[in-house]
Amino acid sequence: MNKFTLDMEFYHLFDDPEFATIVERWIYHAVECNVKEFKLENEDSDMSWYFLPQIIYSAKSINMLELINCGLGIPKCKVELDFLRKLYLSDVYADNEVLQDVIAGCPMIEDLSLCRCRGIKNLELFNLAKLRVIKLWRNYELVMVSIKELDDVHSIVI
């Protein structure tokens, strides 16, 4: 499977456990089929975050991960997104530690975009030899960004 896109409009996942279970089955199936591009958009704006299943953190085949209106929970395993090249998070909830674990588990990342993310106060980017593009906009809780040893970065948008 090359691409998996799930756009959930106006569904209240936590009001319907059966629907949430179905969504998780689809996600597991996509990962098991070695999906390369994964996009999940939850358009429910009531701020009840849909947290991704743990299997996402070890989905080695994914090279593009786009999450909109979701939450990143604490990984219960080592994050191993070995081939992830593009990470796009918009309106995502994650704390500093979770985001740092995710980024550290993406050694091949080239493009990092964070837009309107919540819970992130500090961001440290280091030892990411392939990182070329950094986009950080409207992350109102973000107060510090530390960038070290990123010689090949071509573009930084803040």
- Classified as helix, coil or strand, 8 is strand
pLDDT value, residue 78: 94
The burial class, CB within 10 Å (0-12 / 13-18 / 19+), for 152 is exposed
Average pLDDT over residues 5-13: 74
Q: What are phi and psi of 49, to 5 degrees?
A: -65, 135
Residues 6+ away with beta carbon under 8 Å from 69:
41, 42, 43, 44, 45, 49, 50, 90, 91, 92
Domain boundaries, the chain: 3-157
State in Å, rounded, how far the first CA of the chain is from the last one: 34
User: At CA 93, angle to CA 88 and CA 99, rounded to 5?
Assistant: 65
- Classified as helix, coil or strand, 143 is coil
- Classified as helix, coil or strand, 125 is strand
pLDDT value, residue 145: 93
pLDDT value, residue 21: 87
Identify residue 107 by its one-letter amino acid code.
Answer: P
| Residues 96-123 pLDDT 10s | 999 999 999 999 999 999 999 999 999 9
| Residues 17-68 pLDDT 10s | 788 788 899 999 999 999 999 999 987 655 567 888 999 999 999 999 999 9
Fold observed for domain 3-157 = 3.80.10
pLDDT of residue 10 exceeding 70, the answer is no
The strand ranges marked E within the chain are: 3-8, 37-42, 50-51, 64-68, 70-71, 86-90, 111-115, 122-126, 133-137, 144-148, 155-157
In whole angstroms, how far apart are CA 60 and each of 26, 37, 79? 17, 11, 9
Q: What average pLDDT does the structure give for the chain?
A: 91
pLDDT value, residue 60: 94
pLDDT band at 13 (very low <50, low <70, confident <90, very high): low
Q: Which range among 10-19, 40-49, 144-153 shows the weakest confidence by mean pLDDT?
A: 10-19
Q: What percent of the chain has pLDDT over 70?
A: 93
Q: What is the pTM of this model?
A: 0.92
